[in-house]
């Protein structure tokens, strides 16, 4: 199995093809590499609602079931992590200049 073209989008960071899936654990959106790989530690499937769902492949549930494919979370392969916010702290006060007394 592979993701259908309708699900494939582009990572805003590294421009790699990814698809968004909901985690079966808590329903959060998680980016997954669009290209299936047997190295991946998650299994992705398309639900009856057309949404992609992702679950972890664990020792307890190692089997890839019919309709699923094995993939890598994009967090593991993204070459452009989100920018840190630390560098913006220095300039925060630049608009506040103490004015000298006028008289
Ligand atoms: Zn990326």
Question: What are the boundaries of each domain within the chain?
Answer: 5-79
Rounded distance from Cα 70 to ligand 1 centre (Å): 18
| pLDDT tens-digit readout, 26-45 | 999 999 999 999 999 999 99
Rounded distance from Cα 10 to ligand 1 centre (Å): 8
Cα R_g (the chain), whole angstroms: 21
Residue 10, both tokens: 């582009």
Between CA 53 and CA 82, with CA 37 as vertex, the angle to 5 degrees is 70
How far, in Å, CA of 55 to CA of 50, rounded?
Answer: 16
| pLDDT tens-digit readout, 52-76 | 999 999 888 889 999 999 999 999 9
User: 1: pLDDT confidence band, cut at 50, 70 and 90?
Assistant: confident
| pTM to 2 decimal places | 0.73
């Amino acid at each position: 199995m592979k993701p259908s073209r309708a699900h494939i989008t582009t990572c805003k960071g590294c421009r790699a093809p990814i698809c968004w899936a909901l985690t079966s654990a808590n329903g959060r959106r998680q980016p997954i590499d669009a290209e299936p790989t047997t190295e991946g530690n998650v299994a992705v499937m398309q639900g009856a609602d057309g949404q992609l769902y992702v679950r972890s492949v664990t020792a307890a549930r190692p089997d890839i079931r019919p309709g699923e494919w094995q993939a890598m979370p994009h967090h593991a392969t993204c070459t452009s992590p989100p920018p840190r916010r630390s560098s913006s702290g220095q300039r925060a006060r630049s608009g506040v200049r103490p004015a000298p007394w006028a008289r």
